[in-house]
Amino acid sequence: MSAPDPPVAAGAVPGALDVDESLLDAVAYGPDGLVVGIVQEIGTREVLMVAYLDREALRRTLASGRTWFYSRSRQQYWCKGETSGNRQLVRRVHLDCDGDALLIEVTQEGAGACHTGAPTCFFRRIGAAAP
């Protein structure tokens, strides 16, 4: 049995993250208006996936506590797990030193993060160092 959700302060949105507004202005979006988001499972530290966010997707992610991305191929927003049920609950978001990448720490719910059904999108090894 899981612990109950903490009480929500009056006027606060359940799932919303505390935001350092000064860092939002430090995000260096590319010429296409996007920044890369690296999604990592907070418990295992495993990298689950990489996707892109624009300012609106980042705003939605921070406001909802769920991962939102911008699909370059479909030219639309998508919330991870909306159709599959494999949701990502956002715990922390970090901006790298150059401002051009986000590390999004999540609790992954459901079978996996990859659209193939795999736990992570990084299941194909290209090489490994000798022991």
The pLDDT, as a whole number, for residue 11 is 43
Q: Which domains can be identified in the chain, with CATH numbers?
A: 49-121 (3.10.20.810)
pLDDT at 89 over 80: yes
Whole-number Cα distances in Å, 56 to 19, 27, 43, 101:
15, 12, 27, 16
Burial zone of 65 (CB within 10 Å; 0-12 exposed, 13-18 middle, 19+ buried): middle
The string of pLDDT tens digits covering residues 19-77 is 888 888 899 999 999 999 999 999 999 999 999 999 999 999 999 999 999 999 999 99
Lowest mean pLDDT segment, chosen from 49-58, 83-92, 110-119: 110-119
